[in-house]
Amino acid sequence: MLLNVIGKRNRQRALPLAEPVLLMLREVWKIHRNPKWLFSDRKGASHLSPDAARKAFNAARAQCGFDDRFTPHTFRHSFATLLLEKGVNLRVVQILLGHASIRSTQIYTHLSEPLRRDLRQLLGDFFAGLF
């Protein structure tokens, strides 16, 4: 239940594969059944090019009615923030995003309203007995 991901500079990492994601990926695979690439070019000879992926993303974005401020990177920001809201350790988020440095990961973490609420509660509990 691991997914081998090739990232920037051909760095490889294995990520845990959740059952719902596996089921979705199996459905995608049924469309083309390429033995090597999950997202291949039209001929199945290579991986999907960045240009083709960008065009597909832009078409889907337009169909959803989002403007061009919504980018693939928006998914990374949202993913990191949601993980933190669920209480996932920042180091785990770093591993999932494939960052060598925790500083890189911190860029993607935003203090969302649920985190602000939790922080207010934590600080309130901490200071409650001091005064």
- Local confidence pLDDT in tens for the 131 residues of the chain: 888 887 778 888 888 889 998 999 899 889 888 988 888 888 989 989 999 999 999 999 999 999 999 999 898 888 888 888 888 888 999 988 888 899 988 877 776 777 777 777 877 887 887 76
Domain that holds residue 83: 71-131
Residue 27 lies in a domain: no
Look at residue 53 in the predicted model and tell me its pLDDT: 93
Residue 126 lies in a domain: yes
Report how far residue 29's alpha carbon sits from residue 36's, in angstroms, rounded to the nearest whole number. 11
Residue 52 lies in a domain: no
Sequence-distant (≥ 6) Cβ neighbours of residue 105 within 8 angstroms: 80, 90, 93, 94, 97, 99
DSSP label at 69?
Answer: T
- Integer CA distances (angstroms), 64 to 42, 58, 60, in order: 24, 10, 6
Residue 114 lies in a domain: yes
Question: CB of 108 within 8 A of CB of 77?
Answer: yes
Question: CB of 7 within 8 A of CB of 98?
Answer: yes
Report the domain count for the chain: 1
Sequence-distant (≥ 6) Cβ neighbours of residue 81 within 8 angstroms: 108, 109, 110, 112, 115
Residue 85 lies in a domain: yes
Residue 98 lies in a domain: yes
